[in-house]
Amino acid sequence: MKKLIPQKFLMLFLLICSTCIFGQNYPNKPVTIVVTYAPGGLGDMLARQLADQLTQRTKQSFIVENRPGATGALGSRYVAKSKADGYTLLLGQTGEMVINTLVSKDLGYDPYQDFKGVALIGEAPLTLVAPLSAPYNNLNEFIQYAKSQPNKLTYASSGTATPGHLAAATLCQLAGINLSHAPYKGASQAMTDILGAHVDIFFASTPSIVQFIDGKKVKSLAISSSKRINIFPQLHTVAEDVGKDFSFTLWGGIFAPADTPEPILQSLNTMINTILIDPSFKKQLENEGISIRQNSREEFAQFHRSELVNYKKSTQSLNLKSE
C-alpha cells in the first residue's frame, strides 16, 4: 500500500513549486514603483529612468507613482502594507529608509523589518549652493562671512531631518557658525528661494543642481561627499575646508514588502544589475553626478545597515528630532 504524503508537506511542496514558477514568469502585468516625494528629485529621476529600462527589457509596464508626504513616510507605509507579490515596489531613499527611523517614533513602518532590499540604483553627493549675488565664492569665504554676521544668515533644506538638513546643521557645528534653519516642503521650493536670494545657502541634490551651476544661476561652494566628483573636479569637499570627517550622500534603491517571494526579489536584482552595467545608462547617470555599481541583494542590505550607523552618529550629535 502506498504511503500518503502528509497534508502539511504537500502544501509546502506546492507552495515552493508555485513560488519558483511565479519567479520565472515575473512580471506578467504592470509593476508600480512608488516614489515618496514629489516629481523632480533624485528618487524620481532614478525611478523614471529605471522604469523606462525595465519596461523596454521586460515588455511589461513599470509605472512610477509619486506619493509625497510626511518626509517619505506616507508612501513608505503604503508600500509596506501592499500585497507582497512584486507588483508594488518602493524607490527608497536615505530619508525614509534610514533617517526617519532615528528621529521619529511613530512612522507606521520599519525600514529594516517591513522591507527587503532589491538593489541599490545610484548614489550622489549634495552640492552646497548660494545665490549668485552672495558676497562669498567658496566655503571658506562663506564661513568667515557667517562668523561676521552671527545669527543673521539662513540655510534652507527640503525638510526637517532630511540629509540636506543634517549636512547643513553638521557644517554649522563643525565650523562654529550660527545659522537659522528654513525647512521647505521640497527641494524645488528651497531652490526658488536660493535663486531669489531669500536664503543664504542650500545643500541641494547634485543631479538637480547641475543645470543651475552650468547656467551660472547659482554659486557652488562645496560638495558633501568624502571625495571630489568628476563633473565638478574643481569643487572642494566640505571635509577639505573644515578639516573634519564630513560625508553625506543621497541614494536610491528598490525595496519590496518583506514577504515578497525570494525568486521574485532575485529576478528583480538580476534585471536591475543588467541595466546598471549598460554603458549608456551608466554614462547618463554619471553625467548627472550619480555613481552606480553592480550590487547583490546581500551587498545592498549591508550598505543599508551601514547607513543606519553613519546617520545615528549625526542625529545623536545634533540631538535631532523630527518637527
pLDDT < 50 stretches in the chain? 1-2, 8-9, 12, 14-16, 18-21
How far is it, in rounded angstroms, from Cα 98 to Cα 167? Answer: 15
> Among 194, 220, 242, where does a domain finish?
242
CATH of the domain at 163: 3.40.190.10
Beta pairing partners, 182: 156
Task: Write the pLDDT tens digit of every residue in 98-125.
Answer: 999 999 888 999 999 999 999 999 999 9
Shared-domain flag, residues 114 and 133: no
Shared-domain flag, residues 38 and 100: yes
Phi-psi region of 72 (alpha: psi -120 to 50; beta: other; left: phi over 0): left
297 belongs to a structural domain: yes
74 belongs to a structural domain: yes
Q: Which three cell numbers stand for residue 56?
A: 523596454
Shared-domain flag, residues 236 and 130: yes
Sign of the dihedral defined by the CA atoms of residues 78, 112, 88, 286, in that order: positive
Total domains in the fold of the chain: 2
CB 99 within 8 A of CB 315: yes
Shared-domain flag, residues 163 and 266: no
Q: Which three cell numbers stand for residue 275?
A: 541595466
pLDDT at residue 199, as a whole number: 98
pLDDT at residue 38, as a whole number: 82
1 belongs to a structural domain: no
33 belongs to a structural domain: yes
159 belongs to a structural domain: yes
How far is it, in rounded angstroms, from Cα 250 to Cα 235? Answer: 18
pLDDT at residue 245, as a whole number: 83
187 belongs to a structural domain: yes
Q: Which three cell numbers stand for residue 236?
A: 572642494
14 belongs to a structural domain: no
- Model pTM? 0.84
pLDDT at residue 79, as a whole number: 98
17 belongs to a structural domain: no
CATH of the domain at 267: 3.40.190.150
pLDDT at residue 15, as a whole number: 45
Shared-domain flag, residues 44 and 84: yes
Q: Residue 279: which domain range?
A: 27-123+250-318
DSSP, res 109: S
Residue 90, CB half-sphere, CA atoms under 13 Å: how many?
33
pLDDT at residue 77, as a whole number: 97
pLDDT at residue 46, as a whole number: 96
Q: Which helix (H) or strand (E) holds 55?
A: helix 42-58
pLDDT at residue 1, as a whole number: 45
